[in-house]
């Protein structure tokens, strides 16, 4: 998707990256009412809508930060679709399938759908990775936390009183372990080809 022309609404993605309060306020003013309306119509209330909006924006932020998200479609449709799906998942999780879904007729371009799908996959991957990271042994977890927060491996090595080569080797073994763990997860097999 990188070849597509970047949409003017990319400014909302940039605002998340720069934590730009004024433009972020604009996101709420322009796009939140539609989401609130939808959630209220479908067994939710304003406070649920608040949570869904915040979570969705944080996912978009994470994706933009890690994967350099570049929108080639309007933010409106993309954002609404994401909030909507998140809400439907939430309803399913809580076993409230009996609710009637009052679908609104929204014309959503294929492109918005494609972007929303990518973000959903990104989110599913994050959830799975975080679950698996938690299962990792304490020593590995600590070493990885140190190497990824301190950035300079030399500093990590001197802090731990080990050699640079030792730390790099340990780090590669820990990530190797995570790699093995995630590869044996059935969930990963569903999403890996889409990454």
Partner 1 sequence: MTPEEKYELFERKISNEISIEEDRLLSQIIEDDQTIAKEFKTYKEWNSYLSSNLGLDTEKAEVANNLKDISDSFFTKETQKTKSKVIKMPSWGYAVAASVLVLLGVYTFTKSTTPVYSDFVSIPELSISERADANEIGKKAEEAFNSNNYKEAEVFLNQLLEEDKSNSEYLFYYGISLVELDEFEKASEVFTTLQNGTSIYKYRAIWFEALNQLKQKNTDKCKVLLELIPKEAEDYQTAQELLEEL
3-state secondary structure of 74: coil
Half-sphere exposure of 173 (CA within 13 A, CB side): 10
What percent helix, strand, coil does the chain show, rounded to 5? 75, 0, 25
Q: What is the DSSP letter of 73?
A: S
Cα-flanking dihedrals φ and ψ of residue 174, to 5°? -65, -45
The crossing angle, in degrees rounded to 10, of helices 46-67 and 10-18 is 90
> Contacts with partner 1 in 123-162 (CB under 8 A)?
125-126, 129-130, 133, 144-145, 148-149, 151, 153
Length of the chain: 195
CB of 36 to partner 1, least distance (A): 8
Task: Choose between 103 and 148: whose C-beta lies nearer to partner 1.
Answer: 148
> Contacts with partner 1 in 47-106 (CB under 8 A)?
47, 50, 53-54, 57-58, 61-62, 65-67
CB of 139 to partner 1, least distance (A): 15
In this structure, are residues 5 and 72 in contact, taking their beta carbons and an 8 Å threshold? Answer: yes
Q: Could you say which of 152, 163, 172, 190 contacts partner 1 (CB under 8 A)?
A: 172
Query: Which residues lie near partner 1 (CB under 8 A)?
Result: 16, 19, 21-22, 24-25, 28-29, 32-33, 36, 46-47, 50, 53-54, 57-58, 61-62, 65-67, 125-126, 129-130, 133, 144-145, 148-149, 151, 153, 168-169, 171-173, 175-176, 178-179, 182-183, 188, 192, 195
């Amino acid at each position: 998707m990188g070849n597509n022309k970047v949409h003017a609404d990319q400014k909302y993605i940039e605002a998340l990256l720069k934590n730009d309060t004024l433009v972020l306020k604009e996101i709420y003013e322009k796009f939140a009412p539609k989401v609130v309306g939808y959630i209220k119509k479908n067994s939710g209330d304003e406070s649920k809508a608040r949570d869904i909006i915040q979570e969705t924006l944080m996912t978009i932020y994470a994706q933009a930060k890690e994967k350099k998200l570049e929108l080639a479609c309007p933010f409106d449709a993309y954002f609404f679709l994401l909030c909507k799906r998140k809400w439907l998942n939430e309803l399913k999780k809580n076993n409230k399938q009996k609710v009637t879904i009052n679908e609104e007729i929204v014309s959503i371009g294929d492109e918005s759908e494609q972007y929303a799908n990518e973000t959903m996959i990104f989110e599913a991957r994050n959830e799975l990775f975080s679950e698996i990271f938690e299962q990792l042994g304490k020593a590995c977890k600590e070493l990885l936390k140190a190497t990824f927060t301190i950035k300079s491996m030399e500093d990590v090595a001197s802090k731990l009183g080990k050699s640079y080569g030792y730390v790099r080797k340990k780090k590669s073994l820990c990530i190797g372990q995570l790699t093995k763990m995630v590869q044996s997860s059935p969930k990963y097999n569903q999403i890996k080809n889409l990454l």
